[in-house]
């Protein structure tokens, strides 16, 4: 067995979630001066005063589980940093507040509604001053721990956790789109003949053959893993 796969990093759906490009990608709401970017020289973060609010709208898939990671801080005692997520059809999905006085990493996992196609993320302040940084939104697709060819014609794909949602994957072989398969919620691996993905045994046995497993993230296709054909020993 040869594991020659390259697992790629997830893709952040948020534009400029680390505020290194100031307010690029964000809609600034509320009175001016209530929202600013603090620059420590090697990192920039968002600071909101009581009436400050910024938001970003994103294309998302309906009925899909997403994970939002972010750093947050309520800079003064009694202050609150707030984050809300709304679907264009289902309305408010999440509205959370945080009062930790130091920057901390937080995670929210949520599912979009059946008829949602746009998600609005809002950051605001419920008193004192709220700071945010490193906002990352990704679909909750479990990481692929390995993907490879074995016995000259079979493909194995292993996830590090069961799928949160029914998810469609598409295989590209040598840059050519071949076949898609939809995996059920709860599945955490796949094994089968390369032909299920539209490939041949000759391709699977050739170590120049490049396999790329992709899925739709937001509104574009994203490569989850790359691996190559393997000559049987």
Which residue, 143, 84, 140, 70, is CA-closest to 111?
140
- Asked whether position 43 contacts Ca ion by CB under 5 A, the answer is yes
When binding is defined by CB under 5 A, the residue of 34, 129, 133, 165 that contacts Ca ion is: 133
Tell me the residue nearest to Ca ion as measured from the CB.
Answer: 18
- Closest approach, Cβ 138 to Ca ion, in A, equals 18
- Closest approach, Cβ 222 to Ca ion, in A, equals 23
What b/e sequence results for 218-227 when a residue is b if at least 16 CB atoms lie within 10 Å of its CB, and e otherwise?
beeeeebbbb
Distance, CA of 84 to CA of 165 (rounded, Å): 22
Which residue, 91, 88, 87, 15, is CA-closest to 54?
15
Q: Which stretch binds Ca ion (CB under 5 A): 26-34, 38-46, 188-196, 207-215?
A: 38-46
Q: Count of residues for the chain? A: 233
- Closest approach, Cβ 60 to Ca ion, in A, equals 23
Say if CB 223 and CB 200 are below 8 A apart. Answer: no
Task: State how far the alpha carbon of 186 is from the alpha carbons of 159, 165, 224, in Å.
Answer: 11, 8, 18
- Closest approach, Cβ 168 to Ca ion, in A, equals 34
Q: Give the count of residues interacting with Ca ion (CB under 5 A).
A: 5
Within residues 136-195, the interface with Ca ion by CB under 5 A covers: none
- Asked whether position 72 contacts Ca ion by CB under 5 A, the answer is no
Helix runs in 51-152, H state only: none
- Asked whether position 18 contacts Ca ion by CB under 5 A, the answer is yes
The tokens describing 121, both together, are 């993320």
Which of 36, 210 has the CB closer to Ca ion?
36
Collapsing DSSP to helix, strand or coil, 73 comes out as strand
Which of 17, 87 has the CB closer to Ca ion?
17
- Closest approach, Cβ 38 to Ca ion, in A, equals 9
Which residues of the shown chain bind Ca ion in the complex (CB under 5 A)? 18-19, 43-44, 133
């Amino acid at each position: 067995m040869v594991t020659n796969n390259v697992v790629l990093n997830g893709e952040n759906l948020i534009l400029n979630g680390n505020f290194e490009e100031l307010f690029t990608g964000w809609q600034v709401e509320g009175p001016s001066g209530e929202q600013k970017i603090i620059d420590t020289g090697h990192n920039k973060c968002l600071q909101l005063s009581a009436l400050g609010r910024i938001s970003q709208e994103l294309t998302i898939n309906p009925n899909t589980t997403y994970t939002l990671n972010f750093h947050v801080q309520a800079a003064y005692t009694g202050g609150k940093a707030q984050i809300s997520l709304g679907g264009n059809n289902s309305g408010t999905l999440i509205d959370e507040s945080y009062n930790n006085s130091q920057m901390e990493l937080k995670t929210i996992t949520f599912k979009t509604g059946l008829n949602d196609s746009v998600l609005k993320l809002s950051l605001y302040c419920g008193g004192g001053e709220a700071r945010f940084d490193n906002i990352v939104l990704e679909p909750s697709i479990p990481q692929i721990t390995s993907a490879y060819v074995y016995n000259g014609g079979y493909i194995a794909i292993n996830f590090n956790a069961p799928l949160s949602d029914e998810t469609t994957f598409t295989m590209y072989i040598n840059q050519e789109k071949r076949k898609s398969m939809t995996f059920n919620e709860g599945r955490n691996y796949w094994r089968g003949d390369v032909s299920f993905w539209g490939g041949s045994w000759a391709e699977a046995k050739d170590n120049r053959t490049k396999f790329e497993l992709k899925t739709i993230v937001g509104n574009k296709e994203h490569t989850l893993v790359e691996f190559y054909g393997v000559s049987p020993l």
